[in-house]
Amino acid sequence: MGVSYDTIRFIDGVAEILDQRALPGKIIYVKCRNAEDIFDAISKMKIRGAPAIGIAGAFGVYLGAAASKARDFKGFKREVKKISAYLASSRPTARNLFWALERMEKTSRALESGSKKDALAGLLAEAMKILEEDKAICREIGEAGNGLIKKGARILTHCNAGSLATGGYGTALGVIARAGNKIKMVYVDETRPVLQGARLTAWELSALGIPATLICDNAAASLMSRGKIDAVIVGADRIAANGDTANKIGTYSLAVSAKYHNIPFYIAAPVSTFDLSISGGEYIPIEERSADEVRKVMGKLITLKDMPVLNPAFDVTPRHLIGAIITEYGVIERPGTGKIKRMIEGK
Ligand code: MRU
């Protein structure tokens, strides 16, 4: 079954976002009426996860354009460009946000004539399309990855790459959901600092009826050494042309441990996560988030209130630690620049 709440929905001119900061305790939909509301929702992680923030960004462009006072198409397109640049500054790492904004800009550039009403209808249709396509893509990722999952598998996952992080169904959790009763156990990293694993992935797996066990992030290597993990599957925020992959902080150490213990390590992500303009992971911008995310747990101070903190939100896993990248186009084993280029451009 799975979680029966929409991550994001569009009703009567308003984008409604399920506030993930309140989960799993409370179901609260935040109403976003303009681009500023969407910016706030993305930057404060009311909505999070690479594909989901791309979808939110697309609706943000529409909402911003709907408020435009531009008198002609030229002015309208200029404003869409401005709104898009503004939304692009909400979070820096997930490629999907920029990909979705580029799609919205392209839609506006293609407008040549008609009324403002028609132009807005075109932008809204594109945002809805991005949302609906993402749901279908997640199903395809689930299908593509299913062959990698053996009966009785015990899987480790990190952060949340489920329906909450996408338009629905999820990427890494999409593979797990598709594998269904082949899965013996999913070990869920709690994922400090903001606990996407404990709060979101645990909730989603429970709704799916898939056996799940929550672990502290620092328990993963020990479980691997005790033979309790058969594979690691995580999502991605940006994948460079050579396959180096940025994902939630802590992913890299999982990949290193998995390699040491000879356990396959898989990335599941849509093609919109690839950034072919950068040759390697060293060029991926890594978001640095607020110190208080680390100083506090669920709003409660756990250290000195002015304790110096480092809080990179993502890390980069080099491609040679990645057994395969699972996409809607299929599985790329031992990813590298040539294979990735062929897969993406071959379509
Ligand atoms: O900071 P977050 O919660 O937005 O980070 C999310 C992740 O790192 C996910 O693993 C990634 O976006 C893939 S979601 C399908």
Ligand 1 centroid to residue 87 C-alpha, Å:
18
Torsion of CA 97, 104, 16, 248, to 10 degrees: -10
* All residues at 6 or more sequence positions from 202 whose CB lies less than 8 Å from its CB, including other chains: 24, 188, 212, 214
**Of 313, 314, 331, nearest in space to 322 by CA:** 331
Rg (CA), the chain: 20
Rounded to the nearest angstrom, the distance between the alpha carbon of 246 and the centre of ligand 1 is 9
CB 337 within 8 A of CB 242: yes
pLDDT in tens, the chain (347 residues): 788 899 999 999 999 999 999 999 999 999 999 999 999 999 999 999 999 999 999 999 999 999 999 888 888 999 999 999 999 999 999 999 999 999 999 999 887 777 888 899 999 999 999 999 999 999 999 999 999 999 999 999 999 999 999 999 999 999 999 999 999 999 999 999 999 999 999 999 999 999 999 999 999 999 999 999 999 999 999 999 999 999 999 999 999 999 999 999 999 999 999 999 999 999 999 999 999 999 999 999 999 999 999 999 999 999 999 999 999 999 999 999 999 999 998 86
Residue 237 designated active-site: yes
Residue among 46, 237, 254 whose CB has most ligand 1 atoms within 8 A, to mutate:
237
Q: Which of 237, 244, 275, 315 is catalytic?
A: 237
Work out which ligand 1 atom sits closest to the CA atom of 166: 15
Closest residue by Cα to atom 8, ligand 1, is: 248
Do the Cβ atoms of 314 and 249 come closer than 8 Å?
yes
Q: In this structure, are residues 185 and 211 in contact, taking their beta carbons and an 8 Å threshold? A: yes
Atom of ligand 1 nearest to the CA of 287: 1
Measured between alpha carbons, how far is 93 from 96 in angstroms, rounded to an integer? Answer: 9
Instruction: State which ligand 1 atom lies nearest to the alpha carbon of 194.
Output: 3
d(CA 208, ligand 1 centre) in Å: 20
CB 95 near ligand 1, within 6 Å: no
